[in-house]
Chains A and B, each alone.
Chain A
């Protein structure tokens, strides 16, 4: 299964994923993120993937799809919390060339010009 939570800080929507992101769960993740982006009218997007224990190219597809969406609105995408396996998927697909990568969510927020909440 996949778990999804969202948090808004200023203009940034942060999506935290846990569990497994494959073809079966990709559509659910897409719908959730699109709906959160529309509800909060955010400009930038952070993917915190620290909780994922599996991801394949279907996950890359969802992340790339949202990148295109955010990019069209002039926003940026940052990813954080990548496991060794997910990092290799990003390297193979060239996603590192178009997205920022940070190790933590706090660093990702700073990268996008927002100060992290004290609770983080």
Chain B
């Protein structure tokens, strides 16, 4: 059976830690490995940081929404903001690309999300904001015998 969790919080940097720990705690029932859990937390942190500093331009009045669904050993995470949107998604996904070099952004957020999850999808519009969705298998991984 599916198990769904919803979170919404102000676009404050101090909520990044809360968001990744909350999703990790929700995922813990799948008994993931420490490495998988660390990767999940990192992916959540990247998506939430993007929503706060890019989506809302660090305006704490913005609201970040997270929906996490556990189904058949997999977690499906949606991080959504109603901010300014991404002008060019393909460009934003390129390693080392950043629109905020003055903030010492590494431009690695999407690259990390892609590598730390099994599937990443980004939808964005300058009128409605950005939806980042990723899936990660945490339980029942197939082991290949060589």
**Chain A: residues with CB nearer than 8 A to chain B?**
20, 22-24, 26, 30, 54, 56-58, 60-62, 64-65, 83-85, 88-89, 92-93
Contact = CB atoms under 8 A, between A and B. Distances in A.
Considering the complex of A and B, which 3 residue pairs feature the smallest CB-CB distances, nearest first?
Answer: A24-B13, A60-B106, A61-B104
Given A22-B17, A23-B16, A23-B52, A89 B39 contact: no
Interface of B: 13-14, 16-17, 20, 35, 38-39, 41-42, 45-46, 49, 52-53, 95-96, 103-109, 111-112, 115-116
B46 A56 contact: yes
- The B interface is mostly helix, strand or loop, or mixed, namely helix
Given A23-B13, A61-B104, 13 more contacts: A22-B49, A23-B16, A24-B14, A56-B42, A56-B112, A58-B105, A60-B108, A62-B104, A85-B39, A88-B116, A92-B108, A92-B111, A92-B112
A4 B88 CA distance: 37
Given A56-B42, A58-B49, A64 B104 contact: yes
A105 B143 CA distance: 37
Contact of B112 (A54, A57, A61, A83): A57
B104 A30 contact: yes
Interface centre among B16, B38, B106 (most CB of A within 10 A): B106
A81 to B, nearest CB: 16
A2 B81 CA distance: 27
Contact of A92 (B16, B45, B115): B115
B104 A56 contact: no
A83 B53 CA distance: 27
Nearest to A1: B17
A84 B53 CA distance: 27
A56 B115 CA distance: 13
A8 to B, nearest CB: 24
24 contacts: A22-B16, A22-B49, A23-B13, A24-B13, A24-B14, A24-B16, A54-B38, A54-B42, A54-B45, A56-B45, A56-B112, A57-B46, A57-B49, A57-B105, A57-B108, A61-B105, A62-B104, A65-B104, A84-B38, A88-B115, A88-B116, A92-B95, A92-B108, A93-B96
